[in-house]
Amino acid sequence: MRAWAVETPAPITSGPLRRVERDVPSPGPGELLVRVLACGVCRTDLHVAEGDLPVHLPGVTPGHEIVGEVVESGPGTLRSAGDRVGVAWLRGTCGACRFCRRGAENLCPQSVYTGWDAHGGYAEFALAVDAYAYPIPDELDDVRAAPLLCAGIIGYRALRRAAPPPGGRLGIWGFGGSAHLAAQIALAEGIEVHVFTRSPAARELALDLGATWAGDSLDTGPAPLDSAVIFAPAGTLVPAALERLDRGGTLAIAGIHLTDVPSLNYQRHLFQERQVRSVTANTRADGEEFLTLAARLNVSVTTRTYPLDEADRALADLAADRFTGAAVLQSRPERLA
């Protein structure tokens, strides 16, 4: 089968992704062999390719926003051939530690991840763990569903961590695949959305979706914010976001990787009960809630599609902010013998 592998992590402009040929894997106990129909391109894939995240599996195939069709089920699985499933970032947890037992499986020290600890969806076929795969609502087609499986789920968790009050103002820094989905959930809940981004096209998209205001990343904005989410992987935005929070405001940082945060001034940035929260992966409950909500609200997903053979170009375009919304790879898999 065709696949892409990160041979040696390096800047995306130097071509760390390589096309490879691999045997189609066989599912073990609890696993599904999935024919990849669509796979979203996430900034976390870029962090894996460029080495911002340490190597967990040499030669790993990235991709953790997989929509696919089950072609073979291993022992002990509940799904069968022909079922359509979503395969997301969280691939497995221990199920026994104190975090798993209290419903915080995203903090499990033994957690493993698709496209980092195991080969992901930049390929014609992928293995998935049945217990961590999602049913895809019929209302969502393959391309539209793919970005929901990470960009959507993580954006949803970040929104909940930011805890905007009813009718409050939410600031969003960065407006790519994850942010434009989280914004729609916030708007549907009656939250006033203000978007801070350096991209004129992203500002236009934000306003089209219903944002009250959109401006540059360092603009003051029209009013103090009750909550904020930073989606851009830039630590320099943390002080700027905190300065725009009203008393008691909460800032959530959604990325898995962030550049260094400059020093903060207690009086200016944190006093009056302003707080900062990080976001770490997601629980399966987050994913189930969000996918149901996205289908019910008919969430609009702005996508740009690429053939599987152009996965390297898709990642390079993501790094250079050459599109708004989310990129999605599509392939025409070979037939199983």
Residues 144 and 168 in one domain: no
**pTM for the complete prediction?**
0.91
Question: To 5 degrees, how large is the angle CA 32–CA 137–CA 86?
Answer: 30
Beta bridge partners of 86: 67, 134
Six-digit token string for 114:
């698709």
**Which CATH number is 76's domain given?**
3.90.180.10
- Radius of gyration of the chain from its Cα atoms, rounded to whole angstroms: 19
CA distance 177 to 192: 19
* CA atoms 180, 103, 53, 258: torsion sign: positive
> Tens of pLDDT along 198-219?
999 999 999 999 999 999 999 9
Q: Report whether pLDDT(336) > 90.
A: no
Residue 332 in this model has a pLDDT that exceeds 90: no
Please, which residues bridge with residue 5 across strands? 18
In angstroms, the CA 290 to CA 309 distance is 30
How distant is the alpha carbon of residue 317 from its chain centre?
Answer: 17
Q: Give the separation between CA 62 and CA 312, rounded to whole angstroms.
A: 11
User: Contact, 6 vs 52, CB < 8 A?
Assistant: no
**Gap between the Cα atoms of 19 and 2, Å rounded:** 7
**Are 169 and 142 members of one domain?**
no
Could you report the per-residue pLDDT of 33-45, keeping only the tens digit for each?
999 999 999 999 9
Report the percentage of the chain scoring pLDDT > 90. Answer: 95
Question: By the 8 A CB rule, do 184 and 200 touch?
Answer: no
Residue at 337 is within a domain: no
Give the Cα separation of 175 and 215 in Å (integer): 11
Query: Is residue 334 predicted with pLDDT exceeding 80?
Result: no
11: Cβ–Cβ under 8 A, 6 or more apart, which residues? Answer: 50
What is the extent of the structural domain holding 13?
A: 2-149+302-330
pLDDT for 275? 97
Residues 215 and 274 in one domain: yes
pLDDT greater than 80 at residue 286: yes
Contact in structure between 180 and 163 (CB atoms under 8 Å): no
Whole-number mean pLDDT of the chain?
Answer: 96
Element (H, E) at 317: helix 311-319
For residues 86 and 144, state if they share a domain.
yes
Q: What is the pLDDT of residue 331?
A: 84
Which pLDDT score, from 0 to 100, does residue 61 have? 98
Q: Which residues contact 208 (CB under 8 A, 6 or more apart)?
A: none
For residue 337, what pLDDT band results from cuts at 50, 70 and 90?
A: very low
According to the model, what pLDDT value does residue 333 have?
A: 57
Domain count, the chain: 2
pLDDT score at 325: 87
Residue whose structure tokens are 């236009």? 204
CA distances from 34 to 6, 70, 91, 118, 177 (A): 21, 4, 14, 14, 24
Token pair in block for residue 161: 């961590």
Question: What is the arithmetic mean of pLDDT over 308-328?
Answer: 94
215 forms bridges with which residues in the sheet?
A: 196
pLDDT digits (tens, 9 = 90+) for 12-69: 999 999 999 999 999 999 999 999 999 999 999 999 999 999 999 999 999 999 999 9
**With contact defined as beta carbons under 8 Å apart, do 225 and 209 qualify?**
no
Q: What are the tens digits of pLDDT across the range 135-187? A: 999 999 999 999 999 999 999 999 999 999 999 999 999 998 899 999 999 99
Q: Could you tell me whether strands 112-113 and 17-21 are parallel, antiparallel, or unpaired per DSSP bridges? A: unpaired
pLDDT at 244: 98
User: Domain for residue 201, yes or no?
Assistant: yes
Query: Is there a single domain that holds both residue 164 and residue 266?
Result: yes
Are 212 and 232 found together in one domain? yes
Claim to verify: residue 162 and residue 76 sit in the same structural domain? no
Span 227-231, mean pLDDT? 98
Q: Specify whether 235 is located in the same domain as 247.
A: yes
Write down the pLDDT at residue 255: 87
